[in-house]
Amino acid sequence: MAAGKEIRTQIKSVENTRKITKAMEMVAASKMRRAQERMKAARPYAEKIANVATHLAYAHTEYKHPFVIARENVRRVGLIIVTSDKGLCGGLNTNALRLVMTQLKQWKAAGVEVDVTAIGNKGLGFMQRLGANVVSQLTGIGDTPRLETLIGPVKIMLDAYMEGRIDALFIVYNRFVNTMKQEPTLTQLLPLAKLASEDEASLRTHWDYIYEPDAQPVVDAMLKRYIESLVYQAVAENIACEQSARMVAMKAASDNAKNVIGELKLIYNKTRQAAITKELSEIVAGAAAV
Amino acid sequence: MAMTIHVDIVSAEKALYSGSAEVVIAPGQRGELGIHPRHTPLLTTLKPGTVRMKLPDQAEEVMIYVSGGILEVQPHVVTILSDTAIRGNDLDEAKALEAKRAAEDAMKNREASLDYAKAQAELAEAIAQLATIEKLRRKI
C-alpha cells in the first residue's frame, strides 16, 4: 500500500504546517491588541499638535515657514514608504507597494523625480530592486515603534525640502480601518495643506502668539515635531495593520490546512477501502476457482 | 473657587496628564514660566525639566518630568507637547547621518543582500528536503 503511506506523510506535513500557522495566528492576535493600544495612545499627541498647527495657521505670524508655502514648480518629490519588516501578512505590503507603483508611474509621466525613504524591510527591498533613489532607510523597528528612531530618516527629507532639493513630501502607509480592513493610503506631508476647518470662527480674529525666544526657532521646532508625529502615527498604524493582517492571513492558512487534511483523509480512507475490497474479491475469486 | 486652566500634557507615545490646574510652571527656553488662567497666547520650546502644577483643592504640587518639548498657551488651555527623546541639533544630525549611511550601505551591498536572500531561500529548501529524507528513512 505505497499510495497510503505517501498520503499519510502528506497529512502529517500539512498538520505540522497547520500547527505553525495556528501558533502564528495566536501570536499575531496578542501582538495586535498591544499594537492597537499603542496606536490609540499616540492619538492625543497627534490631535493636540494638529490643534496647535491649526492655531498657528490662523495666527498672523510675521514669519512664514517654508513648510506652509506651496511651491508651484514641482520637479522632485520625496516619498516615505512605510511597510512591515516581515512577510506572511497577506496582501498588506503588496497593496501599499502597488499604490506606490501607480504613483511613481504618474510622476514619471509628469517628469517628476522621486527620492525615497524606506521604513521597513519589504519596501526597502522592493525599492532597491526597482532601482529607486533610496536616500535613507530604517529597518528593524520591531513591535514598539519609537519616535526617537524616526527622527533621523525624517530629518533627511525635511532638510532636503528646506534646501529645495525636493518640492513636496508624501507618505505611503496602511491606514487601520478595522481588524479585517487595512487601506493603503498616500498622504501629502509637505507643504502642509491648510489645516483650517471652517467652523472655528473665533480663531479668525487678528492675533498672534508671543514667541519665546523668537518666532522662527519655535515655529521650526513645532512643525518639525508635527511632521514627525504624523510619520510616527503612520508607523504605529502600519504595525497594527501588519499584526491584524497577519492574524487574518494565518487564520485563513490554518483553515485551508484543515480542509486539505480533511480531503487527504478522505482519499486515504478511500484507497484503503479499495485495497481491502480488492484483496477480498481476489480471495473470493481464488476460492471460487478451486 | 479659584479660576483654573485646562492642562494637557502629551508625548508622542502616550498621554501624560489631562486636567485642570490653578497655575502651571514650566521650564521654558528662557527660564521658568508661570502660567495662570487667561494668559495671553504663547508658543515656546521647553528645556528638559519638570512641569509643576498647582491643582485646585490640593496642597501639593503635581510634578511631571518632560525631556523638552513645546508649550502652547491659549487663554483657557495649556498644551504641553513633550518630547520622548533628548533633542538637539547635533543629536538629530547624527541620527540622520545614521539613516543615510544605512541606505548607502544597502545600495552598495545590493548584490550581496539579494544573494543573501536567495541563499536563505535555498537553505530553507535544503533543510526541508533533509527533513523529508530523514522522515522517509525512519519509516522504511
Mean pLDDT estimate for chain B: 80
- Tell me the shortest Cα–Cα distance from B60 to chain A, in angstroms: 26
**CB burial string A48-67: b at 16+ within 10 A, e below:** bbebbbbbbebbebeeebeb
Q: Identify the sign of the CA torsion B38, B39, B41, B45.
A: negative
Backbone angles phi, psi at B48, to 5 degrees: -60, 135
Whether A213 sits inside 8 A of B42 (CB atoms) is: no
Answer whether B43 sits within 8 Å of A222, measured CB to CB. yes
Q: Which three cell numbers stand for residue A141?
A: 523597528
Contact call for A45 and B79, based on CB within 8 A = no
Average pLDDT, integer, range B105-116: 64
pLDDT of residue B116: 64
| A152 with B99: Cβ contact below 8 A | yes
- Asked if the bond preceding A191 is cis, omega within 30° of 0, the reply is yes
Contact yes or no for B44 and A218 at CB 8 A: yes
- Integer angstrom CA distances of residue A25 from A29, A39, A41, A252: 6, 20, 24, 9
Q: Largest alpha-carbon pair distance within chain B?
A: 89
Q: How far apart are CA A135 and CA B104, in angstroms?
A: 7
Tell me if B106 and A138 make a contact (CB, 8 A cut-off): no
Peptide bond into A213 cis (omega under 30): yes
Dihedral angle of Cα A51, A55, A58, A61, to the nearest 10 degrees = -140
Strands B42-54 and B23-28: antiparallel
Q: Along the 290 residues of chain A, how does pLDDT read in single tens digits?
A: 557 888 999 999 999 999 999 999 999 999 999 999 988 888 888 888 888 887 777 776 667 788 878 888 889 999 999 999 988 888 899 999 999 999 999 999 999 999 999 999 899 989 988 888 889 888 888 888 888 888 889 999 999 999 989 999 999 999 999 888 999 999 998 888 665 554 455 555 567 788 877 888 888 888 888 898 899 999 999 999 999 999 999 999 999 999 999 999 999 999 999 999 999 999 999 999 88
Among partner residues B42, B87, B103, which is closest to A210 by beta-carbon distance?
A: B42
Residue A21 pLDDT: 93
Q: Count of CB contacts below 8 A, A vs B?
A: 141
Nearest to B8 among A48, A117, A229 (CB): A48
The predicted pLDDT at position A198 comes to 46
CA atoms within a 13 Å half-sphere pointing along the CA-CB vector of A288: 6
CA A228 to chain centre: 17
Chain position carrying cell 490662523: A58
In chain B, whose CA is at the least distance from the CA of A118? Answer: B103
- Of the candidate CATH numbers 3.40.50.620, 1.10.510.10, 2.60.15.10, 3.40.50.300, the domain formed by B5-88 belongs to 2.60.15.10
pLDDT value, residue A204: 56
Chain B's closest residue to A129, CA to CA, is B110
Rg (CA), chain A: 28
Instruction: Give residue-wise pLDDT tens across range B73-89.
Output: 988 889 999 887 666 66
- What is the band of B28 on the pLDDT scale with cuts at 50, 70, 90? confident
On the question of pLDDT at B113 being above 60, the answer is no
Tell if the CB–CB gap between A207 and B41 is shorter than 8 Å.
yes
Q: Is A39 helix (H, G, I), strand (E, B) or coil?
A: helix
- Amino acid A58: pLDDT: 72
**Residue carrying the nine cell digits 487595512:** A182
At residue A172, φ and ψ (nearest 5 deg) are -115, 130
Contact B92/A128, CB-based, under 8 Å?
no
Q: How far apart are the first and last CA of chain B?
A: 89
Which chain B residues are within 8 Å of A153, Cβ to Cβ? 96, 99
Q: Which residues of A touch B72 (CB under 8 A)?
A: 52, 55, 209
Which of B16, B35, B38, B43 is the mutation pick for testing A, counting most A CBs within 10 A? Answer: B43
Q: Give the list of residues 6+ apart from residue B84 with CB closer than 8 angstroms, or none.
A: A146, A147, A148, B11, B12, B13, B67
Q: What pLDDT does A220 receive?
A: 85
Residues of B in contact with A134 (CB under 8 A): 103, 106-107
Of residues B28 and A60, more confidently modeled = B28
Q: Is there a contact between B43 and A211 if contact means CB atoms under 8 Å apart?
A: yes
Residue A163 DSSP class: T
Sign of CA dihedral A70, A71, A72, A78: negative
Enumerate the residues of chain A whose CB falls inside 8 A of the CB of residue B106.
124, 128, 134, 137
User: What pLDDT shows up at residue B64?
Assistant: 85
More confident residue, B45 or B136: B45
Please say whether the beta carbons of A169 and A188 come within 8 A.
Answer: yes
> Residue A167: what pLDDT?
92
CA-CA-CA-CA torsion sign (B34, B36, B40, B46): positive
Report residue B126's pLDDT band, with 50, 70 and 90 as the boundaries: confident
**How far is it, in rounded angstroms, from Cα A171 to Cα A174?**
10
